[in-house]
Amino acid sequence: MRIKTKLNLGVGLLFLMIIILSLVSAYSVFLIKADTENILKENYNTLEYSRNMILSLDGIKTTPDNNISVFKEFLKKQMQNVTEPGEKEATANLEKSFALLENNSADENLKAQIRQNIFSIMKLNLDAIKQKSDIAKKTAETANFSIAIVGTLCFLIAFNLLVNLPNNIANPIKELTQSIKEIANKNYSERVHFTNHNEYADLANSFNTMAQKLQEYNNSNLYKLFFEKKRLETLINNMHDPIIGLDNEGIILFANDEALKIIGLKLEDVIAKSASALALSNDLIHSLMLKDDADAPKKKPLKIYANGKESYFEKEILNITIIPTGEEKEINIGDVIILRNITLFKELDFAKTNFIATVSHELKTPIASIKLSLQLLENTKTGDMNEDQKQLVESIKDDSQRLLKITGELLNLSQLETGNIQLNIEKSNPYDIVNYAVEAVKVQADQKQIKLIIDTDENLQDVKADSEKTGWVLINYLSNAIRYSSEKSTIIIQLKNENNQIVFQVIDTGKGIDTRYQDKVFDKYFQVPGSQKSGTGLGLAISKEFIEAQNGSVGVESNLGLGSTFWFSLKI
């Protein structure tokens, strides 16, 4: 039987019994009321009439006319209220005796006869009251019994519902709850079995169907893919670097907590939204969406106010491509933007730069003092020196010159890194820059008997450059070429126009640079393994910074054993 039917039958039967109990109680009360009203109406009124007639009879002696009239009135009412057997005859005798009394109101014998008749009427009604009271008592006892029977049946039905109904409802729910917990613990083989054909059986069938489908889903590749997706999302969200994923149409697919912190948006405001649309109102997203120019000289870190301070991030955009199954051509499926937090390294770099700048600046004063002392020693007025002393002075002079060059490079580097260097960009003659650099290294080249050849195109236009800094770069190129070239070799300084740019090239015939190191020679402090460690490894790094600050570019082409070509280009 279905639960709804059980509830309807149980509650309906209880409701019916309550109605029966109410009807029985009401009927019993009605019967008792009827008996009571019968006593009041038929017997109590007669006793009241009789009492008033006796009082009137006693007052006839003093006021005969008035009391006779009152007696006659109550006698008339009594004649209309004759209800008991024998009461009619007694009332008739009373009437006759009263008729005689009206003619002789002083006759005491008639009065006594009248009293006797009244007492007879009262006795008949008193006996009737006792009899009717017994009937009313029996009616009440019958009513109590009937109410008790019906009430007991109601109690039994209610008690049966109280005991059985909660268990019939709660036990299947408890079993179903336990099964749901098993399903939640990934025990998809769990099943519920109810033998009754009721709502719980239907629920059990639906639950078993769901568990079967979950088991099939759990065993399918779709579940594994979903699980891997959740694991990947968790992994990305726990990374300390901000990461944003886009599809091939620029819709944001995911963004971890770190990314949401720095862009200042909530997850629901970002996911499934167009990055281009968000970039209109969010400057940071706009800067993240900008593609890095492949020809740009250098990617500068992004300075973002995050975590209560200025933080520095390196942006990297990874283009994601796949080769669909059965195809050979790659297709683009989106991009991943990664912001690497380099704040700690930037702070360390600032500290290093400040330290280098301070030390270099402090070293220049004693070095200048040393050079001045050497000049005084070389002056004949201070005295003559022997050959050994002259060699020592020359050695000190070379070392002090080298130290002065190193401190100058370090100062230039610190100024570049802190952004304090000032460039005087103006129209500069490329021929003048080349001639200035060649003159600066001519003595150095003559010491190794190296021939410097200038090969330039004719009628070259001026370049946008700081001629002093550009000349310093070319001098650095030439100094390196002289240092690593053999004696009596040739170095070519080439100047030409390519793609609306003036290209400066220094071509030597030295030992060349291995291809493994060519992309590192412009890094700070890098020196090619096996080369003489006479420098700081900063000259080429500073050269690169100078040229890129003027919107130019630098590069090297080299073959091991065949020499190298260092070049830089500036816009016309």
Helix (H) or strand (E) holding 255: strand 252-255
The lowest-confidence range among 138-142, 195-199, 239-243 is 195-199
Amino acid 554: pLDDT: 92
Q: In whole angstroms, what is the distance from residue 502 CA to residue 567 CA?
A: 10
Tokens encoding 475: 């001098």
Amino acid 297: pLDDT: 47
The set of residues, in sequence order, having a beta carbon less than 8 Å from that of 138 and lying 6+ positions away, is none
Mean pLDDT of all residues in 270-296: 77
Under the banding of pLDDT at 50, 70 and 90, the label for residue 40 is low
> Which three-class secondary structure state does DSSP give residue 569?
strand
Amino acid 477: pLDDT: 92
Share of the chain above pLDDT 90, in %: 10
Q: In whole angstroms, what is the distance from residue 456 CA to residue 502 CA?
A: 10
Which of 311, 299, 315 shows the shortest CA–CA distance to 244? 315
163-177, 306-320, 434-448: which has the highest mean pLDDT? 434-448
Beta strands in 391-500 (DSSP E): 426-428, 451-456, 463-465, 490-498
Who has greater pLDDT, 386 or 445?
A: 445
The lowest-confidence range among 298-302, 414-418, 523-527 is 414-418
pLDDT at 100 over 60: yes
Amino acid 56: pLDDT: 83
Under the banding of pLDDT at 50, 70 and 90, the label for residue 75 is confident
Helix (H) or strand (E) holding 499: none
Amino acid 493: pLDDT: 92
pLDDT at 67 over 90: no
Tokens encoding 287: 């800067």
279-293, 355-369, 467-481, 534-548: which has the highest mean pLDDT? 467-481
> Which three-class secondary structure state does DSSP give residue 314?
strand
Mean pLDDT of all residues in 119-128: 85
Sign of the dihedral defined by the CA atoms of residues 165, 167, 168, 172, in that order: positive
Amino acid 319: pLDDT: 86
Mean pLDDT of all residues in 179-184: 78
Q: What are phi and psi of 454, to 5 degrees?
A: -100, 120
Give me the residue label for tokens 């891997």. Answer: 228
> Which three-class secondary structure state does DSSP give residue 452?
strand
Under the phi-then-psi rule, with left for phi > 0, alpha for psi from -120 to 50, and beta for the rest, what region is 341? Answer: beta
Under the banding of pLDDT at 50, 70 and 90, the label for residue 37 is low
The set of residues, in sequence order, having a beta carbon less than 8 Å from that of 18 and lying 6+ positions away, is 154
Give me the residue label for tokens 């006792």. Answer: 130
Tell me the per-residue pLDDT of 207-247, one tens digit each, with 9 for 90 and over.
Answer: 778 877 777 776 766 667 777 878 888 888 888 888 888 88
Q: Contact 102/71 with Cβ under 8 angstroms?
A: no
Amino acid 495: pLDDT: 92
Mean pLDDT of all residues in 377-391: 76
The set of residues, in sequence order, having a beta carbon less than 8 Å from that of 475 and lying 6+ positions away, is 437, 440, 441
Q: In whole angstroms, what is the distance from residue 433 CA to residue 428 CA?
A: 8
